[in-house]
Amino acid sequence: MSYDLFESPFSTRYGSDAMRRVWSERHKRLLWRRLWTALAAAQADLGLVRPEQAADVRAHAADVDDASIARALEIEHEIRHDLMAEVRAFAEQCPIGGGIIHLGATSMDIEDNADALRLGEALDLILASLRGLLAALADQVERYADLAVMAFTHLQPAEPTTLGYRLAQTLQDLLMDLDALEACRAGVRGKGFKGAVGTSASYRALLAIAAPSAPGDDIERRVMAAIGLEAFPVATQTYPRKQDWLIVNGLAGLAQSLYKFAFDLRLLQSPPIGELAEPFGARQVGSSAMPFKRNPINAEKIDSLARYIAALPRVMWDNAAHSLLERTLDDSANRRVAIAEAFLAADEICGVATGIVSGLRVSEPHIARTMATYGPFAATEPLLMALVAAGADRQVMHEHLRERSLRAWADIAEGKPNPLTIALPDDAALQRFLSRAEIARRMDAADYVGDAPARARALVAHCRGRLSGPAALP
């Protein structure tokens, strides 16, 4: 790392080493060489090159050390073509087979198939991380399936739900992301070996020389089987750039789910609510100026990086839409940056979210405080239904409870406790229809959570089954 030149935060700060290796310069060149090796082997089988030439290429395919990369970069500085520079650096290492490397191929026969392999590897890492997050979140949904909390609509207190059911909303979103990203993984395709404009003309010309009876797609079929990658049936000079858009859009969907989760956590960690908090280290510093601060830095990081990921599908959209005729090169530079960073950012936020979920801090006293303040308002709804069932006029009782609630809001605004829990059981107008004890029982809003616990547990069961194999949401 140079401290005198710009270094990307993704080089050290964001993302895992495993994800960085997928998008590393060395791994890219090793994949290029793997493709050249498979191409040489196929051509040797068909009699297009000598077996000893293909063997020499294979023998040096892994010789990608710092000196080799430096040599390729030196050549690139002169010829201004990165793949051709690697061809020459590789050829210099292969005294017997160097002259047949890249025979019949165009650059994107190598680069796009290598990129497709990297997309698959990167998706495997994201999917593994996402499954770990889902497992951790399912545990918390189950743990808190019955814990009543105040729900908010329009950022205003509404009715009770349970903490497990609230977390189940994120669990459900992430299960949809799992479906989408698994579909992306299953759909990853390479360009294949189709030449400069996708017609396979160069490969057919080679076959006509040495193996005229071979099928026209024999070289492509052999190479793609060797590397374990399916090819798009048709292509131009590149594989369809729509593939990049679909995959990055899938990552943006994951980012969207985690953005909402993290934003909700930031709201609930605010001391006026204080019900949840992300883990906070014993020696962690919250602010350089205010020693008391406990800022939700991890949730904020998720939202910051998720916002960045959300902008990247548009870049991929433009690359696909502007890939004019059989190819333009105006996607090349941004793809070097955007795809890798989309995966590294997604990798980071998935890992950070798993840490937050696993170490989630739940303050039951703060939850009880919020319920005591706002729960009595919610309790007026089941109370109203009980009054009507006992013979009261619904409209009259609604107006009466509305007036009592507005007076209670005034007390709360002055910092007083909510008076409804005490006042309503003693309300003579209500006692005409229900006993004091019945009214008091109805004022406990903690039981007014409907089927939230059952639904939360059902989703947990589905999630655990889903992690054992694909299944549809119930």
List the catalytic residues.
Answer: 154, 287
State how far the Cα of 243 lies from the Cα of 113, in Å rounded to an integer: 12
CB count, 10 Å around CB of 421?
18
Q: Say which residue the tokens 């939360």 belong to.
A: 456
Q: Look up residue 432 and give its DSSP letter.
A: T
Sequence-distant (≥ 6) Cβ neighbours of residue 91 within 8 angstroms: 98, 99, 101
CB count, 10 Å around CB of 402?
11
State how far the Cα of 471 lies from the Cα of 469, in Å rounded to an integer: 7
State how far the Cα of 404 lies from the Cα of 27, in Å rounded to an integer: 70
Residue 185's nearest CA partner among 243, 132, 227, 236 is 243
State how far the Cα of 50 lies from the Cα of 53, in Å rounded to an integer: 5
Bridge partners for 162 per DSSP = 148
Q: What is the greatest pairwise CA distance in the chain? A: 103
Q: Say which residue the tokens 């030196």 belong to.
A: 74
Bridge partners for 161 per DSSP = 149
Between the CA of residue 440 and those of 187, 383, 392, 421, 422, what are the distances in Å?
Answer: 59, 10, 17, 7, 8
Bridge partners for 156 per DSSP = 153
Helix (H, G, I), strand (E, B) or coil at 443: coil
State how far the Cα of 464 lies from the Cα of 361, in Å rounded to an integer: 23
Residue 11's nearest CA partner among 432, 464, 1, 3 is 1
Looking at this protein, which amino acid is placed at residue 154? Answer: H
To the nearest 10°, report the CA torsion of 136, 142, 148, 149.
20
The answer to whether 138 and 175 are in contact (CB under 8 A) is no
* Phi, psi for residue 24 in degrees, rounded to 5: -75, 160
